Structures are given as structure tokens and as C-alpha cells.
Structure 1
């Protein structure tokens, strides 16, 4: 999942139910550009179509079709946020370890130089 689809999911988590036209207005993007990421999220089970008047053309999404987030979508957001926090924690830990080892190396070289 890329950053844009994750941002879409976060919007649905905040507002629960949105239509494509509302999403386009919120993000200031053409609604046609949103249809592919929304379709992907629906296929993955992160979003589902809400209750509406029966569609005129099969199972397609219209601009006024209500779309809502599922439990799987909410869990996916929380897991992604946990992974990002864990990654940041590991990065900080790795840089601290590297700086301590470099400082220890420099101190050992300095003490060896001062000894002789």
C-alpha cells in the first residue's frame, strides 16, 4: 500500500462514510483519479460500498455512492502506524549504537597515542 492509499484510508477513518465527489472536494483532486485507488481498497477489503439506491450500471461506483471503511481497514491503519514507529525506533537505536562505537574507537586511538 502506497502513501496515497494510506492517506485515503486515514480520511475514511476520520469521517467513516464518504463519496467519491466528497473525496475529490476534500483532496482537491479530480474524482476520476480517485477511482482506481478506491477500487483497489475495495478489492482488498479495506473499504466497502455503503447503502445506496440500486446502481444503474451493474456493480460500478458512481460519484454519489457512499463508501465506508471496514474493520480490516482500521486494523491496517493501526498496523502500518505501529510498523512506522518500530522502524523509527530501530533507526534511532542503530544510529546511537554507531555513534557510541565510533566514540569508543576514537577514545581508544587517543589513549593509545597518548600512551606512546
Structure 2
């Protein structure tokens, strides 16, 4: 059995694994806490996020480091929290209406 400074190498490996697990658990707890705070922020500022493009962009920037995609699903947590699914549904309807209205001039295709 190899020893370093009188302590078996296996003891170092065991301690390293314990520290890694502890750090991972702490990081996961921090991410969960941030997600809860982000959800509270979204709930409090829902109207502003929906109607102010600059605020919405900043909100999305806050979501990125957590790997949260507020646009991922209309029926998901963020879609129901923010009503963002409705926003993009309404936007797509407006785009379709514009394409149909301009069909005689450009075939309904825009660049």
C-alpha cells in the first residue's frame, strides 16, 4: 500500500471524493436557490418581462447561466409563469397575417 507522508494514498482519494461530492451538493443547492429567486422575480415582474423587450432580453440573460430556457415549452413552468407561449403564439399569428396580406406583392415570402 502506497503512503504519502505516512497516510495511505487511498485515504487521500477517499477525502478527495468526499470533497468533490460536498462541492457538487453545494453547487446544486445554489442553482436551486437561484432558480427559486428567478421564479419569484419572474412572477413579480411578469408584466414588464412580457411587454418590455429590453427587460425580456435581460431576463433571458439571467436565465442563461442556469441553463433555464423560458421559451422551451408553453405548458412548462416558465410558459405558465410568464405567459410567454401566448406572446409567441400571437406573434406568429401576426407574421402569418402579414405574409397573407403581402402575398399578391411578394408571394407571401419576406426577407
TM-score with structure 2 setting the length: 0.36
Larger relative CO (CA 8 A, sep 6+): 1 or 2? Answer: 1
The structure richer in helix per residue is 2
